[in-house]
Structure 1
Amino acid sequence: MATKLNEIIQHLEQLLQPDMYADYCPNGLQVEGCSDVRKIVTGVTASQALIDAAIAADADMLLVHHGFFWKGESSCITGIKRRRIRALLQHDISLVAYHLPLDAHSELGNNVQLAQRLGVKVTGPLEPGSARSIGLVGELTNPVEPEVFCRTVAAVLHRSPQLITGGGHLIKTVGWCTGAAQGYIDKAIALGLDAFLSGEISEPTVHSARENGIHYIAAGHHATERYGVQALGEALAQTFEVEHQFIEIENPV
Structure 2
Amino acid sequence: MNNFELETLLNDTLSPNLIKDYCPNGLQVEGKSEIKKIVTGVTASAALIDKAIELNADAILVHHGYFWKNEPQAIRGMKGRRIRQLIKHDINLLAYHLPLDIHPTLGNNAQLAQRLGITLEGGLEGHPQSVAMHGRLEKPVTGAEFASRIASTLNREPMHIAPENEAKLIETVGLCTGGGQDFIELAVEKGLDAFISGEISERTTYSAREQDIHYFAAGHHATERYGVKALGEWLAQEHSLDVTFIDINNPV
TM-score (norm. length: structure 2): 0.98
> For 1:90 and 1:239, how far apart are their aligned partners in 2?
30
Q: Find the aligned partners of 1:148 and 1:10 in 2 and give their Cα distance.
A: 43
The answer as to 2:69 corresponding to 1:44 is no
1:140 to 124, 130, 137: 137
* 1:69-93 per-position Cα deviation (integer Å, ceiling 9, x unaligned): 0011100000000000000011110
Counterpart position of 1:78: 76
- The 5-angstrom pairing of residues 46-65 of structure 1 reads 46-65=44-63
Shift of 1:207: 0.5
Show the counterpart of 1:16. 14
Q: Counterparts of 1:170 and 1:10 in 2: how far apart (Å)?
A: 45
Deviations 1:100-150 (A, max 9, x none): 00000011000000011111111221111x231111111111111101101
Any conservation in 2 of the 1:104–1:111 contact (CA below 8 Å)? yes
Gaps of 5+ in 1: none
Identity of aligned residues (%): 57
**Pick aligned residue for 2:151 from 151, 154, 160:** 154
Query: Which amino acid counterpart does residue 106 of structure 1 have in structure 2?
Result: P
Q: Which residue of 2 aligns with 1:104?
A: 102
Unaligned runs of 5+ in 2: none
User: Are 1:196 and 1:215, in contact at CA under 8 Å, matched by a contact in 2?
Assistant: yes
Please point out which of 125, 128, 131 is paired with 1:131: 128
1:138 and 1:107 map into 2 onto residues whose CA distance is 14
Task: Tell me the residue number matched to 1:121.
Answer: 119
Equivalent of 2:23 in 22, 25, 28: 25
**Does structure 2 conserve the Cα–Cα contact (< 8 Å) formed by 1:63 and 1:96?**
yes
Q: How many matched pairs?
A: 250
> Whole-Å Cα distance in 1 between the matches of residues 226 and 240 of structure 2?
22
TM-score normalised by L of structure 1: 0.97
Secondary structure of 1:245's counterpart equals strand
8 A Cα contact 1:88 1:94, kept in partner: yes
Q: Which of 115, 140, 161 is the matching residue for 1:164? A: 161
C-alpha RMSD of matched pairs (Å): 0.8
The one-letter code matched in structure 1 to 2:200 is: I
CA shift, 1:239, in A, is: 2.9
Q: What SS is found at the alignment partner of 2:60?
A: strand
Are 1:38 and 1:241, in contact at CA under 8 Å, matched by a contact in 2? no
Q: Hey, what's the Cα distance between the residues in 1 that align with 2:38 and 2:114?
A: 24
After the TM superposition, which segments of 4 or more aligned residues of structure 1 sit over 4 Å from their partners?
Answer: none
8 Å contact from structure 2 (residues 122, 128) kept in 1: no
Query: SS in structure 2 opposite 1:176?
Result: strand
CA distance in 2, matches of 1:24, 1:165: 32
Deviation at 1:58, TM superposition (A): 1.0
C-alpha separation between the residues in 2 aligned to 1:73 and 1:224?
24
1:222 has 2:231 as partner: no
Q: CA deviation at 1:238?
A: 2.2
CA displacement at 1:210 relative to structure 2? 0.7
Could you tell which deviates more after superposition, 28-37 or 133-142? 133-142
Query: 2:187 maps to what in 1?
Result: 188
Aligned partner of residue 30 in structure 1, secondary structure? strand
Question: SS of the residue aligned with 2:72?
Answer: coil
Distance 1:78 1:5 in 2: 26
